[in-house]
Amino acid sequence: MTASRALHRPDLVAEATRLRVEAAVEQTGYVSNSLAGGLTSRQTRLVAAIVPSVGHSLFSDMLDELVGVLETERYETTLGISRYDPMREENWLATMLSRRPDGVVLTGIEHTARSRRLLLNAGIPIVELWDYTPHPLDVVVGFSQEDAGRAAYRHLKACGYRRPALLRSDDSRAGRRALGFKRAAQEDGEPEPVEIVFPETNPQAGRGREVMTVLLQRAPEADAIFCSSDSLALGALAHAHAVGLKVPEQLGVMGFGNQSLAEDGVPALSTLAVDGAKIGNQAARALLARMRGDTASIAIDVGFETIPRASTHKKR
């Protein structure tokens, strides 16, 4: 018991005793066993977080910040990868919860029924990210995907494009952005924008170059496209360049995310900026508050911003 105190609450132990314990630790190579500790104390200082993919720069900015902030309070973050699949999230949750994390961070607000049940039974703080809803499981930090889609549509229209199309992966958030985009078109009394959806099998797949061929076949009249990510849009740019389509004159290209490479596109890529790091930061803070016992309800809308650059700057 004294040894335990010397390690965790050194102020409660006599200097001499502490020194003896430290010497013994050093000499024996002792490493405490937090399984045993967690079993007794009922807290693990573990936060379990799951994202669709670690390759995506938005998620990695978010993670970097989340992990960093939690670290300052001595919480460790363990990571799951869902590959945009709610069943994978469910399986991950089922095994993860047996490690008794002190908090959980999820991507999105769509979860299987069992996931919800597990989560609610666990009785720990939960943060849902990247989407906004007034009725989260517990805490939510995100923005309205539908509004983002609307904003993209409005931007393209404002730039003078008449037939904007959609190019996106099949993840559900991109789907909701597309929905907002199409609704905005509808409200304008325009025909429904053509939409090309490809499977998000892996981060490399469905690259702009290949999918653009499909788009140009299916919608030869399209004069602008809103892509579900910047890297996709960059691929589209490359394809347009290859087939001699002038951007932005003949084709407007808009990305999503405002990753650093968007600026490096030729021409520089117009995009919707989302602050991944900010989401991670707010999520970490909210989670810490909850784990401290704070029960005030939290729902944070971090918003997004339209970034006009050369790729949609049509000279009329």
Footprint of its own copies (CB under 8 A): 29, 31-39, 44, 53-55, 57, 59-61, 63-64, 67, 76-79, 81, 94-100, 117-118, 121-122, 202-204, 207-209, 231, 234-235, 237-238, 241, 260-261, 263-266
Residue pair 215/187 in contact (Cβ under 8 Å)? The answer is no
Rg (CA), the chain: 24
Pick from 115, 177, 127, 124: nearest CA to 304: 177
Q: Which is nearer to its own copies, 37 or 160 (CB)?
A: 37
Q: Which is nearer to its own copies, 151 or 232 (CB)?
A: 232
Chosen from its own copies, DNA, none, partner binding at 203 (C-beta under 5 to 8 Å by type): its own copies
Single-letter residue type at 237 = L
Q: Which is nearer to DNA, 124 or 307 (CB)?
A: 124
Least gap, CB of 206 to DNA (angstroms): 42
Q: Which is nearer to its own copies, 136 or 276 (CB)?
A: 276
Chosen from its own copies, DNA, none, partner binding at 5 (C-beta under 5 to 8 Å by type): DNA
What dihedral do alpha carbons 178, 180, 183, 185 form, nearest 10°? -70
Least gap, CB of 37 to its own copies (angstroms): 8
Q: Which is nearer to its own copies, 156 or 247 (CB)?
A: 247
Task: Look at the block and give the residue holding tokens 């810490």.
Answer: 288
In degrees and rounded to multiples of 5, residue 137 shows phi and psi of -60, -40
Ramachandran region, residue 220 (left: φ > 0; alpha: ψ -120 to 50; beta: rest): alpha
Task: Point out which residues bind DNA (CB under 7 A).
Answer: 1-2, 4-5, 7-8, 12-14, 16-17, 30, 32-33, 36-37, 39-41
- Report strand pairing: 305-307 vs 271-273: antiparallel
Q: Which is nearer to its own copies, 29 or 189 (CB)?
A: 29
Chosen from its own copies, DNA, none, partner binding at 8 (C-beta under 5 to 8 Å by type): DNA
Least gap, CB of 46 to DNA (angstroms): 14
Chosen from DNA, its own copies, none, partner binding at 249 (C-beta under 5 to 8 Å by type): none
Residue pair 302/275 in contact (Cβ under 8 Å)? The answer is yes
Least gap, CB of 293 to DNA (angstroms): 15
CA distances from 46 to 1, 43, 96, 100, 291 (A): 24, 8, 10, 8, 11
Q: Which is nearer to its own copies, 193 or 206 (CB)?
A: 206
Least gap, CB of 104 to DNA (angstroms): 19
Least gap, CB of 32 to DNA (angstroms): 4
Other CB atoms within 10 Å distance of the CB of residue 21: 19
Chosen from its own copies, DNA, none, partner binding at 238 (C-beta under 5 to 8 Å by type): its own copies
Least gap, CB of 34 to DNA (angstroms): 7
Crossing angle of the two packed helices 172-187 and 145-158, in degrees rounded to 10: 50
Least gap, CB of 160 to its own copies (angstroms): 25
Alpha helix segments (H runs only) across 29-171:
34-41, 57-72, 86-96, 113-122, 145-158
Mapped onto helix, strand or coil, the DSSP state of residue 41 is helix
Q: Which is nearer to DNA, 30 or 187 (CB)?
A: 30
